[in-house]
């Protein structure tokens, strides 16, 4: 029989699993349930690289292990298939995004299947499938038709709100949201309202509502972008300028759930880092809202929120967000130009950039003043981009003595800095401490922090100029995108008022359009749809949902993906409840993970789900970093024949091997000419031409380093840092005539650097190539072997050969010398059983704590031990196959059948039981010392007592050889450890 051939074995078992639906999960079972889920991928045209499967391999190991432990395992896969990349490709090519997406998904499925994942493919979902997004639209309508009752602290259908309006009008209603957006009315007025008036009165209470909102508007893409899609004022995709713009947008009232989202974190088995990111994003703070009257503007008031109302006497200026509604009104003619310039500059920065930039000091004075509500002292009103319109009131009272940012701002612009406590030292920086007693603070002079805070809040409320208030940093989630390739928002407009599409009319399917870009009049792409109206007469909402809409609930759809009557069947949801183990990137902490928790809590309020949280345990896998290779191009400025001085700038590129580049590092001045001459001689010898190199004219330097440019090269044409020269010449047209300065052994050695995998760095390694060469089992093992799952780790294809060698060695335990199957029924020896049960214990412990890299090490050690023992016994090798199966499932299936079991049945096997007695040693080696100095090691029975060990030492020749004739005074025996003889 031939040796181990993973390519044949793996294709066979992948076909078997598919044909027999081996990993199909049941929605009811007497077994305990276990739901393990990967964050599903967006299917890009590039397909998977080796960094992508890391989390998928880990989750698959857990899924297969849990099946062996007797669980009914749900392990599904699907695709987050709406998104901007497919739309941009459609704009460029005219090809429908659905076609691009379908082709990309087919490629992903092919690659995922080749890796042998135990997915239940019968449950696959795609967010762009109308049968799926029907229910995304349905959930949106539930949000649209619900409000948040602060008295019951949960969402309720609008019916309960309308009943309150009918009985008492708006009086006494406590609802989440902005009270200032709502109008007061009596029960009688409500009953007299027209339909339009009623809908307008209800709209500010809805959990899905429309409002003028500042957004990241990208004219180049014709759409709103999330903060994650903007970097340094440019769109992440395409690099187009992005500006802040006030636009009517659909929003989801996630702020209603802020406190519950905070409290729920305590019940989750997530890393503290991710939980802390969510806590900071939600940003709960307890303080006061204060009203500042604008001087000489009787109707103008500025509300600020502060957590340090005790420092209000030290508020020497106010800062408004550049987008604040009062900026234009308060800007004096003399300041108009400066303020407008500042506003224009701010529009080009994303909120995230503004929040992150703590070093830049900038602002513009409006020319107006406000009055300190307690001291009545005038304070200047400025605008600055570190204040955000959507956070709090869009205005802050600046207390430079107690806040470092305010301190730096005041120093920069020459504004007053007033100490407010007798403990403050503000000579060089702000002092935010709460020590000492208050000074320069009239009403609270001499009081402590607690006393001052309580007194000022009482005064604010008594005077009607403020109140105590709990605030949150989190803002409502912008829900609209001006794109085509997304879920249509199921809203239509009648008489200018938004109505929800009837649930019976869902899904609202994306219409066909002629182009995928905004209309000539600036409407979203859906404005191009012809005759697209509800009931043939009402205009639809033209925005689509953001990418995170479909991913906020997909874990529920996996439970019951083919249900046409409900988003998830009640029995299925009650059985699976939530995800037991979720694997994905920490970068989703304040996006997908937060939105999913919000949607789940909302569905829980409506009685549609039973679990309190969607994802009970979360593991964030680290990133596999690419191993980039570099070639070094010599910027020679052209070549000349030694007999002429004519420069030929059309001559080929010259690449110098890594060792030459390194040896020339730092050479300068007078040695430059010699160095270049040496390179010319080397090149002349290799090419047969007599060549001289000339320094590059445009480089004002005498450093050889500055004449060498490192360039990324495709790692797939490099092996062990040696460049395939012919492949390199074919890789890029401009390198077809390249010349090389090679090593003495006629190879070109590339440079190396570890960095993020990226197509632009040509360091992306396709799993397809490695599977073809080494097999999927080897790739699975190697990715786990690289290091702890949560850590970043560099990729090095060279390491694959070692893991492949391990699998061949394992194969030979069952097929000695790669011959016929030769497992015997002979009883196992104690050392063989010891090796097996050490592995059973170690593998079980490591998988339970998700330490996959150490498991691979343990399996390698076990195979080495069994090979040394020449073990070919079923009693050892059959349990070993089961241990291996979560990691290398194809090889395990092949060996399982060879051991006499039914094809494909290893996932139904029982996990081997660990037996402690096989690890108990028969004998123990004792170091034996004289007066603390070890002289020899003697072996005794593991059960020997101290008296028996002492007698044995006395009876041996140990004392005559080492005691120098002295009589022993005392024997000290530490059981299992050592013996010390005192003489």
Binding-site residue ranges: 759
Q: How far apart are CA 208 and CA 598, in angstroms?
A: 13
Distance, CA of 192 to CA of 305 (rounded, Å)? 38
Binding residues for ATP: 759
Exposure letters 221-240 (e unless 16+ CB within 10 A, then b): bbbbbbebbbeebbbebeee
List phi, psi (to 5°) of 167. -85, -45
Task: Report the C-alpha dihedral over residues 161, 167, 169, 172, rounded to 10 degrees.
Answer: -80
Strand 317-320 and strand 395-398: the pairing is antiparallel
What's phi and psi for 342, nearest 5 deg? Answer: -70, -40
Q: Residue with structure tokens 């987050």?
A: 80
Dihedrals phi, psi of 32, to nearest 5 degrees: -65, 150
Structure tokens given for 536: 């043939």
DSSP code, position 307? S
Element spanning 458, H or E = helix 449-463
In the block, tokens 């550049």 appear at 322
- What backbone phi and psi angles, to 5 degrees, belong to 464? 70, 30
The encoded tokens of residue 797 equal: 């294809």
CA distance 804 to 813: 15
- Quote the CA–CA distance of 22 and 285 in Å, as a whole number: 52
CB-based contact 629:718 (threshold 8 Å): yes
| DSSP H or E segment with residue 643 | none
Q: Residue 254: exposed, middle, or buried by beta-carbon count in 10 A (0-12, 13-18, 19+)?
A: buried
CA distance 169 to 841: 68
The residues that bridge with 380 in the sheet, in sequence order, are 317, 369
Task: Determine the Cα–Cα distance for residues 432 and 434; give it in Å rounded to an integer.
Answer: 7
Q: How far apart are CA 548 and CA 932, in angstroms?
A: 68
Cβ proximity of 138 and 506 under 8 Å: yes
User: Distance between CA 408 and CA 429 in Å, rounded?
Assistant: 8
Side-chain-side CA neighbours of 466 within 13 Å: the count stands at: 30
User: CB neighbours of 660 closer than 8 A, spacing ≥ 6?
Assistant: 632, 679, 682, 741
In contact, 605 and 154? CB cutoff 8 Å? yes
Place of tokens 């508020």: 315
Start-to-end CA span in the chain (Å): 66
Alpha-carbon distance of 800 to 793, in angstroms, equals 15
C-beta separation of 225 from 346 below 8 A: no
Residue 275's alpha-carbon distances to 138, 281, 470, 553, in angstroms, are: 30, 10, 21, 20
What does the block give as tokens for 130? Answer: 């109308």
As a whole number of angstroms, the distance between CA 452 and CA 672 comes to: 73
Output the six-digit token pair for 826: 């002979």
Q: How far apart are CA 177 and CA 146, in angstroms?
A: 13
The dihedral built from the CA positions of residue 756, 759, 763 and 767, taken in this order, carries a sign that is positive
The sign of the CA dihedral 200, 206, 210, 213 is positive
């Amino acid at each position: 029989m031939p040796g181990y051939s993973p390519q044949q074995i793996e294709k066979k078992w992948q076909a078997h699993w598919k044909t027999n639906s081996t990993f199909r999960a049941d929605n009811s079972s007497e077994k305990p349930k276990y739901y393990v889920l990967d964050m599903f991928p967006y299917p890009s045209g590039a397909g998977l690289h080796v960094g992508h499967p890391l989390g998928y391999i880990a989750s698959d190991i857990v899924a297969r292990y849990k099946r062996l432990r007797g669980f009914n395992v749900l392990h599904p896969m699907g695709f987050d298939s709406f998104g901007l990349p497919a739309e941009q490709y459609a704009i460029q090519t005219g090809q429908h995004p659905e076609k691009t997406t379908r082709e990309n998904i087919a490629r992903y499925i092919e690659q995922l299947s080749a890796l042998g994942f135990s997915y239940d493919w019968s449950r696959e979902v795609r967010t762009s499938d109308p049968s799926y997004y029907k229910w995304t639209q349905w959930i949106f309508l539930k949000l649209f038709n619900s409000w948040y009752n602060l008295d019951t602290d949960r969402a309720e259908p609008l019916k309960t709100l309308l009943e309150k309006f009918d009985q008492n009008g708006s009086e006494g209603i406590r609802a989440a949201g902005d009270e200032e957006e709502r109008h007061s009315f009596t029960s009688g007025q409500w009953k007299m309202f027209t339909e339009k008036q009623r809908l307008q009165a209800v709209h500010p209470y809805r959990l899905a509502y429309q409002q003028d909102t500042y957004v990241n508007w990208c004219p180049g893409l014709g759409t709103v972008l999330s903060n994650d899609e903007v970097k340094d004022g440019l769109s992440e995709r395409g690099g187009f300028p992005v500006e802040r713009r006030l636009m009517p947008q659909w929003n989801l009232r996630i702020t209603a759930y802020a406190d519950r989202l905070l409290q729920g974190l305590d019940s989750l088995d997530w890393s503290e880092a991710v939980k802390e990111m969510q806590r900071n994003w939600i940003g709960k703070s307890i303080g006061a809202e204060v009203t500042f009257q604008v001087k000489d503007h009787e109707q103008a008031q500025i509300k600020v929120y502060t957590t340090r109302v005790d420092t209000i006497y030290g508020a020497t200026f106010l800062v408004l967000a550049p987008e604040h509604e009062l900026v234009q009104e308060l800007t004096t003619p003399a300041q108009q130009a400066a303020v407008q310039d500042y506003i224009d500059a701010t529009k080009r920065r994303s909120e995230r950039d503004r929040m992150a930039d703590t070093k830049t000091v900038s602002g513009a004075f409006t020319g107006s003043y406000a009055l300190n509500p307690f001291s009545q002292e005038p304070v200047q009103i400025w605008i600055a981009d570190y204040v955000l319109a959507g956070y709090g009131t869009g205005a802050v009272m600046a207390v430079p003595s107690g806040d470092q940012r305010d301190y730096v701002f005041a120093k920069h612009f020459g504004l007053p800095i007033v100490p407010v406590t007798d403990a403050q030292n503000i000579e060089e920086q702000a002092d935010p401490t709460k020590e000492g007693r208050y000074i320069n603070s009239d009403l609270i002079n001499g009081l402590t922090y607690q006393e001052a805070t309580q007194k000022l809040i009482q005064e604010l409320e008594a005077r009607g100029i403020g109140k105590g208030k709990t605030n949150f940093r989190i803002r409502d989630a912008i829900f609209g995108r001006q794109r085509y390739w997304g879920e249509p928002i199921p809203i239509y407009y009648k008489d200018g008022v938004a109505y929800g599409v009837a649930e019976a009319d869902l899904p609202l399917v994306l219409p066909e359009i002629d182009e995928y870009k905004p209309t000539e009049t600036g409407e979203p792409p859906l404005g191009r749809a012809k005759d697209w109206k509800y009931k043939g007469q009402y205009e639809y909402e033209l925005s689509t949902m953001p990418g995170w809409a479909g991913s906020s609930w997909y874990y529920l759809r996996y439970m019951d993906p083919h249900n046409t009557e409900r988003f998830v069947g009640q029995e299925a949801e009650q059985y699976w409840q939530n995800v037991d183990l979720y694997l994905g990137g920490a970068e989703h902490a304040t996006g997908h993970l937060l939105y999913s928790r919000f949607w789940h809590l909302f569905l829980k309020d409506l009685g549609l789900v039973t679990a309190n949280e969607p994802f009970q345990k979360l593991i964030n896998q680290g990133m596999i970093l690419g191993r980039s290779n570099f070639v070094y191009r010599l910027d020679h400025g052209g070549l000349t024949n030694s007999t002429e001085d004519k420069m030929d700038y059309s001559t080929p590129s010259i690449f110098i091997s890594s060792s030459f580049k390194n040896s020339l590092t730092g050479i300068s001045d007078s040695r430059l000419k010699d160095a270049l001459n040496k390179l010319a001689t080397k090149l002349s010898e290799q090419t047969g031409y007599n060549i001289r190199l000339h320094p590059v004219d445009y480089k004002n330097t005498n450093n050889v380093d500055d004449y060498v440019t490192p360039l990324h090269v495709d790692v797939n044409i490099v092996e062990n840092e040696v460049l395939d020269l012919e492949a390199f010449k074919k890789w890029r047209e401009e390198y077809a005539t390249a010349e090389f300065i090679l090593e003495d052994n006629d190879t070109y050695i590339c440079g190396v650097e570890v960095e993020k995998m990226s197509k632009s760095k040509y360091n992306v390694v396709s799993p397809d190539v490695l599977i073809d060469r080494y097999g999927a089992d080897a790739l699975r093992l190697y990715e786990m072997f690289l290091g702890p799952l949560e850590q970043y780790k560099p990729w090095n294809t060279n390491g694959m050969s070692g893991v492949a060698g391990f699998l061949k060695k394992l194969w030979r335990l069952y097929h000695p010398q790669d011959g016929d199957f030769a497992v015997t029924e002979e009883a196992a020896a104690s050392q063989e059983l010891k090796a097996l049960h050490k592995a059973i214990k170690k593998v079980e412990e490591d998988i339970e704590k998700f330490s996959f890299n150490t498991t691979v090490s343990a399996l390698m050690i076990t195979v080495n031990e069994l090979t040394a023992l020449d073990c070919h016994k079923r009693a050892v090798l059959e349990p070993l196959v089961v241990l291996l199966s979560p990691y290398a499932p194809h090889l395990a299936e092949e060996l399982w059948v060879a051991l006499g079991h039914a094809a494909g049945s290893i996932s139904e096997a029982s996990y081997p039981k660990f037996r402690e007695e096989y690890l108990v040693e028969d004998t123990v080696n004792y170091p034996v010392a004289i007066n603390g100095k070890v002289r020899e090691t003697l072996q005794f029975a593991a059960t020997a007592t101290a008296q028996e060990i002492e007698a044995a030492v006395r009876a041996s020749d140990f004392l005559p050889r080492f005691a120098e004739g002295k009589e022993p005074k005392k024997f000290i025996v530490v059981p299992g450890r050592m013996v010390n003889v005192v003489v």
